[in-house]
Copies of this chain bind each other. A is one copy, B any other.
Amino acid sequence: MLKNIPPILGPELLATLRAMGHGDEIVIVDANFPASFLGPRTHRADGITATDMLDAILTLMPLDEFVDEAAIGMAVVGDPQARPPIVAEFEAMLARHEPNFRFSTIERFAFYDRARSATALVQTGETRLYGNIILKKGIIRPAA
């Protein structure tokens, strides 16, 4: 373990996060998500909730302020205006770490398509439905 780094971020996931550049996307997915055969490298985080993983990643990773939507969930199938309980938690974490960003959603198969183009996936043990979120990486500005 290291100082200031949440211990659920293991060596390989940490290296992925550090290697990502501006606009690269990482996707935190729940335990039902078809991650392993989608294409991008999948980091396993069995036993970890999607909300804990989001909290850990946002501790280190800035979101992309160059786009309107940098934190994107999956809309409820057949009821896209619905807000599953886990979404309220995602929004609370965003508000805490990155208050300038709002959470948005896209339709299930559009989410899969976008996840195929991601840098990496993190498959958690999250059992709550719709526990999926795409995060688009932003920039660290030079020290003033």
Contacts and interface: CB of A to CB of B under 8 A. Distances in A.
A21 to B, nearest CB: 9
Interface in A51-93: 59-62
Q: How many copies does the complex hold?
A: 2
Nearest to A17: B2
Contacts of A61: 2-3
A1 B4 CA distance: 15
Query: Chain A, interface size: which category?
Result: 20 to 34
A2 B15 CA distance: 11
A14 interface: yes
Nearest to A12: B15
Interface in A1-20: 1-5, 7, 9-12, 14-19
Most buried by B among A1, A11, A14, A139: A1
A19 to B, nearest CB: 4
Contacts of A17: 2
Contacts of A59: 3-4
A15 B12 CA distance: 6
Contacts of A14: 11, 14-15, 18
Interface of A: 1-5, 7, 9-12, 14-19, 59-62, 139-140
Nearest 6 A/B pairs, CB to CB: A11-B15, A15-B15, A11-B19, A1-B140, A2-B60, A11-B18
